[in-house]
Chain A
Amino acid sequence: MVLPVRECELSGWGRHPVQRCGVLRPDRYGDLSRIEADTLPRGLGRSYGDSSLNQGGRVVEMTRLNRILEFDETLGILVAEAGLSLAEVAEIFLPRGWFLPVTPGTKFVTLGGAIASDVHGKNHHGEGCFSAHVAWIELFTPALGRLTCSPEEHPEIFWATVGGQGLTGIIGAMALQLKPVSSLWMEVTHHPARELESAFNLLSDPEADAPYTVAWIDCLAKGRELGRSIFMAGHHRTEKNLPPAKAPRSKPLIQAPFNFPSGCLNSLTVRAFNGVYYRRNGRKRFPFLSAMDPFFYPLDMVGHWNRIYGRRGFVQYQSVLPPGTAFEGVKAQLEEISAAEAASFLAVLKRLGAAGPGHLSFPTEGYTLALDLPYRGPETEALLKRLDAIVLKGGGRVNLCKDAHLSPESFRAMYPRFEEWLGVKAQVDPEWMLQSSLSRRLRMKEGA
């Protein structure tokens, strides 16, 4: 059966760029076995830039292939189709005492998307990437057909698919090792940091360390206060006698009803927000209980929160720098952003653990800074170029699933294992049936 195509304007979560794609939405698992030319799989579209877009081509929306196939109650191994969202996993399995081993800052991503972008979470320094907990995947490739890949079976294809932005095949199903938790509560401590240096000290301080750590950082603070942050550390509570906690919500609490006028997020409003946020949260220096949702997914509470950046959208810039250059590099980035008054009320700094084996997987050991920048045309692009230069100089890299502007040259400099990845691509998809706007922008087809 030929699947119907819906032609529409599509964008990533940043709503920039917006491109015309033909969307296919399979209802049956068997529909995946025939991949047409110029196709790209897509989950819930939470990657920010153009990694889930395929201008002028086909996009396979995987969200209806979200069936749970097996669950081992004693070992916590979940086998499910790739379109299942992390929100559903949390909703169904948290009450049974199992949680996601690694979760990004939103739960509205699919399992397949989490592998294709090899997402990481607040526990990367301890638990690694999402892929570290995946036992196997079932991959539909154009050249080799249906394959089961794991770190043991076809390891090179597995590690090329992890972080491979959906370009090595369509992930159909997977097995994920869940993590046992004994309560729905988190215990969280906040430590205010007056400037960047103390933020870095807190992030690397073994005393302050916890399974989950992250620092919210005020991008508009200048001068002596540059890098003013709040370091947040949390862990799962294990006691049994806690009051019942709210289970994670499967839907947002409120919706951003329309596109906000573009000027809404200016340096004034963001400065005001940041000031209030810093004072309110910096006060919570003693451990307090938090439910899962506000700790892991604070932004998921507002549906379509990307609309507050207005019609032109925004770009998210996430880079990681190795420990040696991180402090100077992050400082230089913050100075650029602060000088450009590019308002970003959501910026986080986090320490990452060792890099995983994924060829194009983003996390490497060091410190990562992630920020949202409202898109203002050439001005923003120039700023991104300057940020790229800082990252390149420091020997770091930019996260592909958030990126929309990286140049082909910078990409090759940042991802030295690209050639290895191309070797696998030649094996599973020599004719480049699977393409994306990202792969064309980075001229991936042209070689290393």
Chain B
Amino acid sequence: MKGPDVNEGDRPLAKLALRPPRAPRVVSGLSPGNTPVLILGATSPMARGLATALAQSGQPIYLASRDVEECARLASDLRIRHGVTVFHGHFDAGDLESHLPFLGTVLEALGSLEGVVSLVGTMGEDPATLDPFKAEQIIRSNYLGVVSILGACAQHFESQRRGVIVGVTSVAGDRGRQSNFVYGSAKGALSIWLSGLRNRLHSKDVRVVTFKPGFVDTAMTYGKPGTFCVASPMAAGRAMAWALHGGPDIVYYPRMWRLIMAIIQHIPERVFKGMKL
């Protein structure tokens, strides 16, 4: 049985109060030191923050993204600044067939794998498109591709009976808004998938974290009106590194987004549908 989850408010309080106290099963995160981590979507600024935080604690890293040249630059930067082992390679989330062989290469390079963080995703040109092909692209990169590669990693962790999976979704996945609902629905689906995966792997001592960033200072928010309290991608990456090592199963970053999204989720649909969001 799963322990009470601080982040999920969907359980009736009365039940919680009546249930006899039981020690929750603790699934530990990564221990610092020689614990290799795979970063998918490594060219995003948040991934750089994460890689920096991991490199500072001396962990071997594998950077993977579609843009190999960019990955090579990031890898040499980490090696020279922090003196850690960094590998890099090509990974295309949309190319599902390549995922299993890709995981093989990663395992071969790192020797073992203890954690994986997926920052894969794109808003696309129009995150609220009604064009089915454009929508398919968004869903493929934000949901299908991630499900495929994290699924492969989950099998690996399940068999070695340890490991940590961090899936980066978005607060946009918590409720559909007219400005980005295609992107939001893919991210929301990923959140639900991660929740199910967490449930499945809990008994196998594999930790699954859903990481939901709010506004982070990246190209997605840069110069956009209406953004507020924008967090630095380096700090967001650091929070991801903490999530690898322990803490709640669902992380909102910055933390106030938990409150904001709780309010937004509780607006009655009758009112919400008329709002300009």
Contacts and interface: CB of A to CB of B under 8 A. Distances in A.
Interface of A: 3-7, 23, 25, 27-30, 64, 67-71, 81, 92
B195 interface: no
A27 B81 contact: no
B69 interface: yes
Interface stretch (B72-80, B140-148, B177-185, B239-247): B72-80
Which 6 A-B pairs rank lowest in CB-CB distance, beginning with the nearest? Answer: A6-B223, A67-B77, A4-B222, A68-B80, A67-B73, A4-B223
B259 interface: no
B73 A81 contact: yes
Nearest to A22: B223
Given A28-B70, A29-B69, A30-B70, A67 B45 contact: no
Contacts of A67: 73-74, 76-77
Given A4-B222, A25-B219, A25-B222, 15 more contacts: A5-B223, A6-B223, A23-B223, A27-B44, A28-B43, A28-B67, A29-B70, A64-B45, A67-B73, A67-B74, A67-B76, A70-B76, A71-B80, A81-B73, A92-B80
B276 interface: no
Given A4-B219, A6-B222, A67-B73, A92 B81 contact: yes
Contacts of B222: 4, 6, 25
A69 B219 CA distance: 23
Contacts of A64: 45
Interface residues of B, number: 17
A71 B73 CA distance: 13
Given A67-B76, A69-B77, A7 B223 contact: yes
A29 B69 CA distance: 9
Contacts of B266: none
A27 B77 contact: no
9 contacts: A4-B224, A27-B219, A29-B69, A30-B69, A64-B45, A67-B73, A67-B76, A67-B77, A69-B77
Contacts of B105: none
Interface of B: 43-45, 67, 69-70, 73-74, 76-77, 80-81, 218-219, 222-224
Nearest to A88: B81
Contact of B81 (A6, A23, A30, A68): A68
B76 A69 contact: yes
Contacts of A5: 223
Contacts of A6: 222-223
Interface centre among B45, B67, B69, B80 (most CB of A within 10 A): B80
Contacts of A71: 80
B159 to A, nearest CB: 36
Nearest to A2: B125
Nearest to B223: A6
Contacts of A28: 43, 67, 70
A59 to B, nearest CB: 12
Contacts of B69: 29-30
A6 B224 CA distance: 7
Interface centre among A6, A28, A71 (most CB of B within 10 A): A28
A384 to B, nearest CB: 35
A27 B218 CA distance: 8
Given A27-B218, A30-B67, A69 B223 contact: no
Contact of B219 (A3, A68, A70): A3
A67 B75 CA distance: 9
